[in-house]
Amino acid sequence: MKARIIAVILLLLFCSFPAKAFEYYVHGVGKVIDDPISQSISLNIQEMPVTYVVGPDSKGYLYGVEYKKLRHERRKILRSKDGITWDPIYEHKVEIKSLYLWKDVLFFSDANGSIFMKNGSKFEEVLRLEKGKYAIWWSWAGNNEFLLIGEYGAKSNSARVYRTFDGRHFEVFFDIGEHYKVKDNGCHIHLVSVDPYDDTVYIGVGDNPPYRGLYIYKNGKWIFRNTNNHILNSIMNSGPLATTYDKKRVLFYSDNFPQIVEYNKEKDELKPLAAWFGEYYRAEMKFYDAVKDPKTGIYYAVSVDYNKKGVHYLWISLDGVTWRKISGGAVNGTHVLYPLHMAKGYLYMNNLRMKLFTREEALKLIYGENKPPISITLVEDRPIVIPIQTEKPLEIVVEGKKLRNYLSPKLTWTSVNGTLEKRDEFLVFATSSSSAMLKLQVSLEKGWYTLGMCMKSSRPWDEINPVRVTIHTKGKSYGGLAQVSTEWRPFYYVF
């Protein structure tokens, strides 16, 4: 079956001195590493009697809900100082859906939508959510000034986020009715998050377009980002379920589509950062939680699927672009891992905990390097990790913004096992077999070059495979896989 792929290919002069080859991946596709982990690396995973872990508080206590496979049996709150021995402190009459620690005070939501606050040795009800609604781990967020609680659970024409300054008196902070009149009974709050750098509030609303999307509250004003007002429809069409923060950007981890989206705070700009295709797309993989270790800069995210294809995995990254799958022991693809919480050197998951990776361990897992790679910023303040093996310090300097383009559709392109059509700045390549190739020979002086391509296919998602890009020089061959989708996806390679 023929598959038509449209490609725009640019080659830019990046720097004028020779160096060892390296590669990096930027917006649109990312890089997914899912081969088995070396047996020399120990994951140090332990089974725990709790889930929904929060803390520690000022006395050093962690809190969790007793883990039961049947969720309606999760009714006890336990606490621990060492994360090993857990003692019960409270038993509720119905299922406890989530815990949250704010200003050293423990809160929880039950399945009936009641919000309770710890008062001495007892818990008192301080808020009742709308019928059928309750709060789970992504429904809570707070800072030193206020606490936010969003309504998850039953879908309806209403969805609210409540705010309190003292834990007892609440006001409506966000109401979907003030932004869109929902009529399909398909609405609830997917995400509540507060930026630790500037206190901007991000609210994710599901489930259906056109109200599904991201609502941003900054400087007393709301900004709405979804399919109706963003040229890249697939970005917010999937909806965010988790966030991690950097000083200049926010990473959103998506529902319905396996991708990570970057929000540039200064530009108010959303761009796809990494996407999972193939088996992960077919399994309808999504991300239910994510955290970032402030000490090492390592991102942790957990994936989940509704088709029971076994893609419940832990993923780690150092830049949000290249992601390594972590599997082994209880992290076997079938065990639910969410939610995530970092405390006392451990990553707590659903009745599991794992020793947090050191940066050196993460480098070895992701890049196979024993020595740290060089980390620099190349594109619009976005951190790119470049693995280069060198015994001496290496300085990279980019002066000016003059770039020379060496490629165009007008050059002598050669097609193998396919037909080629030159259409303005596009190359339309209709392939007739899986071994189809598009070739070009060009003379270049010695130096560093960036090959940039944008590609899309006219075939359905489940019929699209990655494209291998190879650059042959007199001394060496370079290359990598470029993901292809039904929308334009960029690929960059430096050689």
Say yes or no to pLDDT of 253 above 60. Answer: yes
* Half-sphere exposure (Cβ direction) of 433: Cα atoms closer than 13 Å: 6
- Structure confidence at residue 10 (pLDDT): 31
Same domain, 361 and 398: no
Mean pLDDT of 167-180: 94
Q: Is the pLDDT of residue 464 over 80?
A: no
Q: What is the pLDDT of residues 410-430, one digit of tens each?
A: 788 888 888 888 877 778 888
Mean pLDDT, rounded, for 458-472: 77
pLDDT recorded at residue 374: 54
Domain-embedded: residue 36: no
Q: Do 369 and 392 lie in a common domain?
A: no
Position with higher pLDDT, 295 vs 464? 295
Residue at a domain's end among 327, 346, 373: 373
Whether residues 101 and 209 share a domain: the answer is: yes
Q: What's the alpha-carbon Rg for the chain, to the nearest Å?
A: 25
**Residue where a domain stops, chosen among 348, 373, 398:** 373
Choose the most confident range, by mean pLDDT, from 124-138, 243-257, 303-317, 384-398.
124-138
CA dihedral defined by 350, 303, 322, 468, rounded to 10 degrees?
A: 150
185 within domain boundaries: yes
pLDDT one-digit tens code per residue, 204-214: 998 887 788 88
User: Are 18 and 78 within one domain?
Assistant: no
Mean pLDDT of 466-487: 76
pLDDT band at 360 (very low <50, low <70, confident <90, very high): confident
27 in a structural domain: no
Let me know whether 455 and 353 are in one domain.
no
pLDDT of residue 470: 83
Tell me: do 199 and 283 sit in the same domain.
yes
What pLDDT was estimated at residue 404?
Answer: 64
| pLDDT score recorded for residue 472 | 83
CA dihedral sign of residues 225, 227, 231, 234: positive
Q: What is the CATH number of the domain that holds 85?
A: 2.130.10.10
Within-domain flag for 338? yes
Residue 299 to residue 61: CA distance in whole angstroms: 25
User: How confident is the model at residue 236, as a pLDDT?
Assistant: 43
- Does residue 142 carry a pLDDT above 60? yes
* Average pLDDT of the residues in 439-450: 77
The pLDDT assigned to 368 comes to 77
Please check the confidence at residue 228 and state whether its pLDDT lies above 50.
no
What pLDDT, on a 0 to 100 scale, did the predictor assign at position 90?
97
Q: Domain range spanning residue 478?
A: 3-22+388-494
Tokens of 433: 């077999």
* pLDDT band, residue 451 (cuts 50/70/90): confident
Task: Please name the residues in contact with 295: beta carbons below 8 A apart, sequence gap of 6 or more.
Answer: none
- Of 74-88, 164-178, 213-227, least confident by mean pLDDT is 213-227
Distance CA 331, CA 314 (A): 7
**Do the domain assignments include residue 79?**
yes
Kindly state whether residue 28 falls inside one of the protein's structural domains: no
pLDDT cut 90: percent of the chain above it: 45
Q: Are residues 364 and 406 in the same domain?
A: no
**Measured distance CA(77)–CA(66) in Å, rounded:** 6
Q: Is residue 485 part of a domain?
A: yes
* Mean pLDDT (whole number) for 335-345: 96
Confidence of residue 243 (pLDDT cuts 50, 70, 90): very high
Q: What is the pLDDT of residues 315-330, one digit of tens each?
A: 999 988 889 999 888 8
- Tell me, yes or no, whether 317 lies in a domain: yes
Strands 201-206, 188-194: parallel, antiparallel or unpaired by DSSP? antiparallel
Has residue 227 got a pLDDT over 50? no
Summary mean pLDDT of the chain: 82
Q: Is 269 found in the same domain as 178?
A: yes
Closest CA to 148 of 99, 102, 80, 87: 102
Evaluate if residue 295 carries a pLDDT over 70: yes
Are 224 and 318 members of one domain? yes
Domains in the chain: how many in total? Answer: 2
| Of 28-32, 187-191, 215-219, 251-255, minimum mean pLDDT range | 28-32
Residues 330 and 469 placed together within one structural domain of the fold: no
Quote the pLDDT of residue 9: 33
Q: 250 and 220 in one domain?
A: yes
Say yes or no: 198 and 319 in one domain: yes
